[in-house]
Amino acid sequence: MTKWLNYTTFDIIGDLAFGESFDCLKNKGYHSWVTFVYQGTKTTALVRPFLMMLPSFLVTLLVPSRIKQMRENLYFSSKAKVQNRLNRQTNRPDFWTYILRHNDEKGMSVNEMEANAELLIAAGSETTASLLSGWVYHLLTNPSVYKRLADEIRGSFQNDESIDISSIGKLSYLHAVLEESLRMYPPVPAMFPRKVPKGGAFINGQFVHEGTSVAVAFYSAFRATTNFTEPDSFLPERWLQESNNSNQRFASDIKEVLQPFSYGPRNCLGKNLANAEMRLIATKLLWNFDMSLEDGSDNWEAQKSYNVWQKKPLMVKLTPVQH
């Protein structure tokens, strides 16, 4: 499932950003540029610690030629993708339609567009696919949650065509399950450091000197007993208003801690898109298919991370639902 979910989100972001799909689903494989994005993300994670300790020119000398070639491939692929879009007229709006529409003296230069193309694709695809992979795994390892969510989705629509962004807003249990999936399996386990401003600042009651790099470890914060009741258990009910009103089981949960898209003016630009996309894909999946976990996917969560998860294969059996 991990690959198929990645194919789906890459195709969607390609269509939204550049007006054309990467055709990963059609070709049942990754587009070359998508492969370069994966390699580039891992490379960045490996190089970053050295950039914090050594001068940039020295890091450049130490980087293996293979990694340099990966970065070069990604740069030229991003450049070609942007140039192709700039040279092509389209009647259907995409991201670049709006970037070009507001391309005044404060707009992006072509070089900036090329530099941001990689980020748009990586941030708008991999994170959503990771969340959905984690959602599938936790859903299928918690049968009671699976049944309740399937019943909610299949009891809320007449047909597949009636499932859209507006109609899925009423699915309260879907929202709760996805929130719990974000808590248990944050799609970006890396931290987003910030520098303490001039004069220093108090953080959680402790004074921190100016210029200090600070960050919150999402995974640790989301699994801390000080923030959540039974933090290692998948309990979507903690996000339901009805549960909070009827009992005190989750009364001590500090739900504001769940900020997987970061927080403040520099939080994730694509937060709303990601929320809409994952809800729509999840609903379509459970409307159309029964799912069951196959052998070999036990302990799937035990993964390495290089800024994003290095997801293992998630073997799932899909059986079409007869409505």
Residue-wise pLDDT for 83-100, tens only, equals: 888 888 888 898 888 888
pLDDT given at position 41: 74
- Using the 3D structure, point to which of 197, 222, 247 is the last residue of a domain: 222
pLDDT at 53 over 90: no
Kindly state whether residues 9 and 78 are assigned to the same domain.
yes
Kindly state whether residues 240 and 288 are assigned to the same domain.
yes
Mean pLDDT of 105-134: 85
Kindly state whether residues 293 and 216 are assigned to the same domain.
no
Kindly state whether residues 41 and 15 are assigned to the same domain.
yes
pLDDT given at position 240: 93
Kindly state whether residues 265 and 143 are assigned to the same domain.
yes
- Calpha distance 318→305 (Å, rounded): 28
240 or 120, higher pLDDT: 240
What's the total number of domains in the chain? 2
Kindly state whether residues 271 and 138 are assigned to the same domain.
yes
The average confidence (pLDDT) of the chain is 89
- Using the 3D structure, point to which of 222, 243, 265 is the last residue of a domain: 222
Kindly state whether residues 211 and 244 are assigned to the same domain.
no
**Which band of pLDDT confidence, cut at 50, 70 and 90, is reported for residue 122?**
confident
What CATH number does residue 144 fall under?
1.10.630.10
**Which band of pLDDT confidence, cut at 50, 70 and 90, is reported for residue 63?**
confident
The answer to whether the annotation marks 24 as part of a ligand binding site is no
Kindly state whether residues 49 and 122 are assigned to the same domain.
yes
pLDDT at 245 over 70: no
Q: What angle do CA 221, 176, 121 make, to 5 degrees?
A: 70
- Using the 3D structure, point to which of 222, 239, 267 is the last residue of a domain: 222
pLDDT given at position 243: 59
pLDDT given at position 265: 85
Mean pLDDT of 299-319: 91
pLDDT given at position 226: 96
pLDDT at 155 over 70: yes
- Calpha distance 36→66 (Å, rounded): 12
Kindly state whether residues 46 and 154 are assigned to the same domain.
yes
Kindly state whether residues 155 and 269 are assigned to the same domain.
yes
* Residue 245 vs residues 15, 174, 211, 242, 258: alpha-carbon distances, Å: 43, 19, 44, 5, 20
Token pair belonging to 318: 């899909």
16 or 56, higher pLDDT: 16
Kindly state whether residues 19 and 139 are assigned to the same domain.
yes
Kindly state whether residues 150 and 16 are assigned to the same domain.
yes
Q: Please tell me the chain's helix, strand, coil percentages from 3-state DSSP, rounded to the nearest 5.
A: 55, 5, 40
Mean pLDDT of 29-55: 76
User: Over pLDDT 70: what percentage of the chain?
Assistant: 98
Residue-wise pLDDT for 196-218, tens only, equals: 999 999 998 999 999 999 999 99
pLDDT given at position 209: 97
**Which band of pLDDT confidence, cut at 50, 70 and 90, is reported for residue 244?**
low
Mean pLDDT of 282-300: 94
pLDDT at 160 over 90: yes
Q: In which domain, by residue range, is 99 found? A: 1-188+228-320
Beta bridge partners of 305: 309
pLDDT given at position 135: 97
